[in-house]
Structure 1
Amino acid sequence: MGGAVSLTLGSLLYPAMLGVQKVGSAPSRVVADPATGPVTAADRDFVVEVRAAGLWEYPVGEKALKKGTTKAVRNAGEQLVAGDAALDAACRDVADQLGIALPNQPSLQQQGFASRLNGESGKQFDMDLATTLRTTNGQFLTTVAGVRTTTRNSLVRALADRVNNTVLDHISAMEKTGLVDFGQETTSPDLPAQDLTPPPAVAGQPQVVLTPPANSTVSPSPTVR
């Protein structure tokens, strides 16, 4: 990718809104046109949203490995840690190729999910983990499907395929705990945009890397080209 294209992308690619609401007023607007295909506002926001999801799910998975009271919950935690680490590597690779600026922190809404789980223990933690992660991943499937069917960029398309598989794995892991409350709502469509958008990384700050566990059974994501 040429330097001029990278500079243009870097000045444009940060989302206006993420979460359960629409990514912006013009999601089909083309913000860059690299050799891999046009990149729209929706494509850009999707890559950032994938990154933000991993930034809150990964540490929650680590908590589940330590605090889970059943083997199924601890297995779900392992799936989160290993799956999000592998997916994050692919996400960072795509963002680097397209010049997309990635956050180092999740959104305020996602931080709220993590904070609540951090304060819980025992059966309450197990149940809240299963319900929250099953719901948020289920909602994300809609976003993945929309991007996968509309994007004209081959890198974003390949990333969407991987995200889809990982999200389905996470949903299955949560359901296998037997603790999902299918009637509980964990998000609100009325949250302000600033609560749904991860803060931009501080200039010069090292990029946070989600490291796969040494004994992970999840294969690292190969480079997306």
Structure 2
Amino acid sequence: MGGALSVTLVALAYPSMLGVTKVSTSPDRVIANTQWGPLTEGDRDFVVKVRAAGLWEYPVGQLAEKKGQSKAVLIAGKHLIDGHAALDATVRKVGPMLNITIPNKPSPQQQGFINTLTADQGKQFDKDFANILRVTHGSIFNTIAKIRSTTRNTLVRALADQANATVLDHITVMEQTGLVDFPQVLFQETTPPKLPATDLTPPPPAAGEPEVVLTAPPDTTTQPPVLPGETPTASATPQVG
């Protein structure tokens, strides 16, 4: 991986694929008691982060479908679109149910990802795409596992299950491009720069702003799961694209 990409990753990619700073004063502090179980600060932040992830990875997946030079990158782009459309459908249900305000725009950090890949051309796009997405997904994997193993809220647990499967799928398709520079990626995952909170936090939606919906493509192979209390339907079987 060239020096220019290394700078891009240091400046933009860390600390996680979700691009949201840890705003909790105490992640374990219960902020609400709901019918689905206690909701902690960490739970709330996780829901916001999942929404924020889709707001940059979904359009980046669309870029990959348009600009990708290899079949593997085209496939990875489709997986991003499918996975985050399904995750977004879940988080747009879970957010209101738990009285959590979700963003409509990515963080400045995440917008930087989009800008970098929008400017890339040819094989440089494929290389940056595979490495940036591999860094960001690898960085968040342990965070999802922690939320899944510690949350007492059944809605958050269902979202974490879905996020875990989606992230593992996206890690896999990035690696299958054959473009991942593992020494550099692992260095980026374990040596995060310190970024200001303003770079890492998506802006709250403006009053009356229409909710952004990440629409699943007609040929999607990924469906959101059935949430606790919902009635299963024929189209609600969770699959990974």
- TM bucket normalised to smaller: 0.7 to 0.9
Which residue number in structure 2 is paired with residue 199 of structure 1? Answer: 203
Which residue number in structure 2 is paired with residue 133 of structure 1? Answer: 133
Q: Distance in 2 between matches of 1:121 and 1:19?
A: 24
Residue 222 of structure 1 deviates from its aligned partner by: 3.4
C-alpha deviations, 1:11-37, integer Å up to 9, x for none?
Answer: xxxxxxx74754422111111111111
Residue 217 of structure 1 deviates from its aligned partner by: 2.1
Q: Distance in 2 between matches of 1:21 and 1:106?
A: 12
Q: Distance in 2 between matches of 1:96 and 1:76?
A: 30
Does the alignment pair 1:123 with 2:126? Answer: no
Which residue number in structure 1 is paired with residue 72 of structure 2? Answer: 72
1:20, 1:189 within 8 Å by CA — same for their partners in 2? Answer: no
Q: Distance in 1 between matches of 2:111 and 2:161?
A: 26
Which residue number in structure 2 is paired with residue 60 of structure 1? Answer: 60
2:127, 2:179 within 8 Å by CA — same for their partners in 1? Answer: yes
Question: What amino acid sits opposite 1:202 in the alignment?
Answer: A
Q: Secondary structure at the residue paired with 1:45?
A: helix
Q: Distance in 1 between matches of 2:102 and 2:129?
A: 26
Q: Secondary structure at the residue paired with 1:31?
A: strand
Q: Distance in 1 between matches of 2:54 and 2:20?
A: 16
Which residue number in structure 1 is paired with residue 91 of structure 2? Answer: 91
Residue 51 of structure 1 deviates from its aligned partner by: 0.3
Structure 1 segments unaligned to the other structure (5+ residues): 1-17
Which of 197, 217, 221 is the equivalent residue of 1:213? 217
Which residue number in structure 1 is paired with residue 225 of structure 2? Answer: 222
Residue 151 of structure 1 deviates from its aligned partner by: 0.8
Which residue number in structure 2 is paired with residue 146 of structure 1? Answer: 146
Which residue number in structure 1 is paired with residue 238 of structure 2? Answer: none
Q: RMSD across aligned C-alpha pairs, in angstroms?
A: 1.6
Give the TM-score normalised by structure 2: 0.82
1:93, 1:224 within 8 Å by CA — same for their partners in 2? Answer: no
Which residue number in structure 1 is paired with residue 30 of structure 2? Answer: 30
Structure 2 segments unaligned to the other structure (5+ residues): 1-17, 229-241
Which residue number in structure 1 is paired with residue 232 of structure 2? Answer: none
Q: Secondary structure at the residue paired with 1:33?
A: strand
1:93, 1:223 within 8 Å by CA — same for their partners in 2? Answer: no
Structure-2 change in CA distance of 1:202 and 1:91 (3 Å): same
Residue 146 of structure 1 deviates from its aligned partner by: 1.3
Structure-2 change in CA distance of 1:20 and 1:203 (3 Å): closer
Q: Secondary structure at the residue paired with 2:100?
A: coil
Q: Distance in 2 between matches of 1:97 and 1:139?
A: 28
Q: Distance in 2 between matches of 1:176 and 1:78?
A: 14
Structure-2 change in CA distance of 1:20 and 1:47 (3 Å): closer
Q: Distance in 1 between matches of 2:161 and 2:100?
A: 19
